């Protein structure tokens, strides 16, 4: 039974009713038990299962998508490297750049969807926002004008970049829905010095240097009587089936997990601004390595490639020959072990896909090691789940090559692994 309490809040009750005799007359005796908390836990379990399913589905799609990009990216790069075809090279460069953008977007989607552990690092919010612009734009209607106002010389912060992106996505989607897909949205960063006056806003503030991140929209605003509930789990003003009511509560949890503060300013018919504050870090932000555009390393030797995707095998066949290696390509784990058993004396390294039918990378890895415990094996996979990959790394894998890859990443990884020891005779 759903009831409304004195405060106007909906509660769930379980009722027991029976016919009784009272003062010589028939009556009904009723007992109501408040089961609101139990109902909330049930909803949390259902939502948790839904989110886990979505994460698993996204990971599987990303694996297939990365396999496709794994063939497109290096193929375009190989065309770009051909001399005397300037016009064709320009077109190939367009394909390469689009594939790189798609790869970046896939990584962001995986970071957003999978339940990773909190992985703190020192990073620059402006750089994170710049790298996530495509993902932000994909989260809103094309009729919304997305603006950015990023401060120069912004101080770094400590935290998990993936979680911050998730919080931003939730706020952006929330604003998009509030504006019904029309209006403008601004993301702004700036350095802020917090003093005792900020305690009036939120007693969680501590004096010191902070970095402010605000998300402002020109939507209808949030009515005052519901503002205090917006961070409550499962609280939503949307129609049934239109929202989980978890978006803002997740944002709140992420900000608190970063020792930050979040508060909202809103005025009906004028818009809403969510202010996120993060303690500034005194460390230097970790710099993302930019791949060198120099000529790829070349080498020699025979490399066995194991991948169930024909496009990937074809790319490796051409790419390895270009780099000076001899390629032997097979489609599955069983075939790989048979070939390796016959030709183990000439094979210097194995590039092994992780997700394959019948024998997966884990089983194939151990079967190859039975034939030659010293064989060098590089795992190549676009699969998002790290658990299985981590297990195989602990077993003695020589390296990991993520899909999609480029000519340079392949050449550098091969040089790195093969140079660990003298090439066998």
Residue 112 pLDDT more than 70? no
Q: How many CB atoms lie within 10 A of CB 125?
A: 25
Q: Note whether 216 and 338 are same-domain residues.
A: no
Peptide bond just before 404 cis, omega within 30 deg: yes
Residue 316 pLDDT more than 90? yes
Task: Give, as one character, the DSSP assignment of residue 342.
Answer: H
356 against 203, higher pLDDT: 356
Q: Note whether 243 and 323 are same-domain residues.
A: no
Mean pLDDT, range 215-231, rounded to an integer: 81
- Return the structure tokens found at 86: 């300037």
> If we measure between CA atoms, which residue out of 254, 277, 258, 256 comes closest to residue 121?
258
Last residue of a domain, one of 279, 312, 338: 279
Q: Note whether 149 and 270 are same-domain residues.
A: yes
51 against 323, higher pLDDT: 323
232 located within any domain:
yes
Q: Note whether 157 and 269 are same-domain residues.
A: yes
115 located within any domain:
no
Q: Rank 78-82, 283-287, 324-328, 384-388 by mean pLDDT and report only the highest.
A: 324-328
CATH of the domain at 316: 3.40.50.2300
Per DSSP, helices labelled H in 236-277 are 247-257
285 located within any domain:
no
Q: Note whether 182 and 239 are same-domain residues.
A: yes
Q: Percent of the chain scored above 90 by pLDDT?
A: 32
19 against 340, higher pLDDT: 340
Residue 114 pLDDT more than 60? no
Last residue of a domain, one of 248, 279, 310: 279
> If we measure between CA atoms, which residue out of 75, 71, 102 comes closest to residue 91?
75
Q: Any bridge partners for residue 154, and if so which? A: none
160 located within any domain:
yes
Lowest mean pLDDT among 2-16, 322-336, 401-415: 2-16
| Three-state secondary-structure class, residue 6 | coil
Q: Percent of the chain scored above 70 by pLDDT?
A: 84
Owner of token pair 């210097």: 348
CB 320 within 8 A of CB 336: no
Q: Note whether 130 and 255 are same-domain residues.
A: yes
18 against 248, higher pLDDT: 18
How many structural domains are present in the chain? Answer: 3
Per-residue confidence at 238, pLDDT binned at 50, 70, 90? low
CA atoms of 166 and 112, how far apart (whole Å): 5
88 located within any domain:
no
Position 236 scores a pLDDT of: 60
Strands in 2-4's sheet, in edge-to-edge order, are 2-4, 10-22, 25-34
How much is the mean pLDDT over the chain? 82
Q: Note whether 132 and 275 are same-domain residues.
A: yes
Dmax over CA atoms of the chain, in Å, equals 107
Lowest mean pLDDT among 32-41, 169-178, 185-194: 32-41
User: What is this structure's pTM?
Assistant: 0.56
The angle that helices 36-80 and 86-113 make with each other, rounded to 10 degrees, is 160
Residue 11: give the domain boundaries. 2-34
Lowest mean pLDDT among 81-85, 317-321, 401-405: 81-85
Q: How many CB atoms lie within 10 A of CB 380?
A: 25
Q: Note whether 309 and 258 are same-domain residues.
A: no
- Return the structure tokens found at 102: 């798609």
Mean pLDDT, range 165-187, rounded to an integer: 88
67 located within any domain:
no
Per-residue confidence at 244, pLDDT binned at 50, 70, 90? very low
367 located within any domain:
yes
Q: Note whether 309 and 383 are same-domain residues.
A: yes
Q: Note whether 219 and 308 are same-domain residues.
A: no
Residue 153 pLDDT more than 80? yes
CA atoms of 138 and 174, how far apart (whole Å): 14
Residue 242 pLDDT more than 90? no
Q: Note whether 191 and 326 are same-domain residues.
A: no
CA atoms of 116 and 165, how far apart (whole Å): 13
Q: Note whether 272 and 167 are same-domain residues.
A: yes
Task: Give, as one character, the DSSP assignment of residue 220.
Answer: S
The angle that helices 161-178 and 247-257 make with each other, rounded to 10 degrees, is 150
CATH of the domain at 135: 3.30.565.10
Mean pLDDT, range 137-165, rounded to an integer: 91
Residue 339 pLDDT more than 80? yes
In order, the DSSP letters of 226-240 are: HHTTTTSTT---SPT
Position 423 scores a pLDDT of: 45
378 located within any domain:
yes
């Amino acid at each position: 039974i759903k009831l409304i309490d004195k405060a106007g809040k909906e509660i769930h009750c379980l009722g027991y009713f029976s016919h009784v005799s009272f003062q010589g007359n028939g009556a009904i005796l009723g007992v109501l038990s408040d089961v609101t908390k139990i109902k909330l836990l049930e909803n949390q379990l259902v939502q948790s299962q839904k989110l886990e399913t979505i994460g698993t589905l996204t990971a599987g799609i990303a694996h297939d998508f990365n396999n496709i990009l794994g063939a497109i990216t290096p193929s375009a790069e190989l065309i770009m490297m051909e001399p005397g075809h300037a016009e064709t090279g320009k077109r190939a460069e367009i394909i390469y750049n689009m594939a790189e953008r798609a790869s970046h977007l896939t990584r962001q989607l995986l970071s957003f969807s999978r339940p990773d552990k909190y992985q703190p690092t020192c990073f620059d919010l402006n750089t994170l926002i710049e790298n996530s612009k495509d993902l932000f734009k994909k989260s809103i209607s094309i009729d919304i004008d997305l603006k950015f106002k990023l401060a120069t010389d912004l101080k770094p912060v400590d935290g998990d970049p993936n979680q911050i992106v998730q919080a931003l996505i939730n706020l952006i989607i929330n604003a998009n829905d509030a504006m019904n897909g029309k209006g403008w949205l601004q993301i702004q960063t700036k350095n802020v010095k917090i003093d005792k006056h900020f305690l009036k806003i939120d007693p969680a503030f501590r004096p010191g240097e902070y970095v402010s991140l605000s998300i402002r929209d020109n939507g209808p605003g949030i009515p005052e009587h519901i503002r205090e509930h917006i961070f409550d789990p499962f609280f939503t003003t949307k129609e049934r089936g239109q929202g989980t009511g978890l978006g803002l509560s997740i944002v709140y949890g992420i900000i608190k997990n970063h020792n930050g503060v979040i508060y909202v300013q809103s005025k009906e018919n004028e818009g809403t601004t969510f202010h996120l504050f993060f303690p500034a870090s005194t460390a230097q932000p970790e710099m993302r390595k930019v791949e060198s555009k120099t000529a790829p390393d070349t080498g020699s030797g025979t490399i066995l490639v194991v991948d169930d995707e024909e496009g990937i095998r074809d790319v490796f066949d051409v790419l390895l020959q270009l780099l000076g290696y001899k390629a032997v390509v097979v489609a599955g784990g069983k075939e790989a072990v048979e070939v390796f058993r016959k030709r183990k004396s000439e094979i210097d390294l194995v590039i092994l896909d992780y997700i394959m039918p019948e024998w997966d990378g884990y089983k194939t890895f151990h079967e190859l090691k039975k034939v030659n415990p010293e064989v060098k094996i590089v795992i190549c996979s676009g699969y998002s789940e790290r658990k299985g990959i981590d297990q195989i790394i602990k077993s003695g894998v020589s390296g990991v090559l993520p899909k999609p890859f480029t000519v340079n990443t392949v050449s550098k990884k091969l040089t790195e692994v093969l140079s660990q020891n003298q090439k066998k005779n």
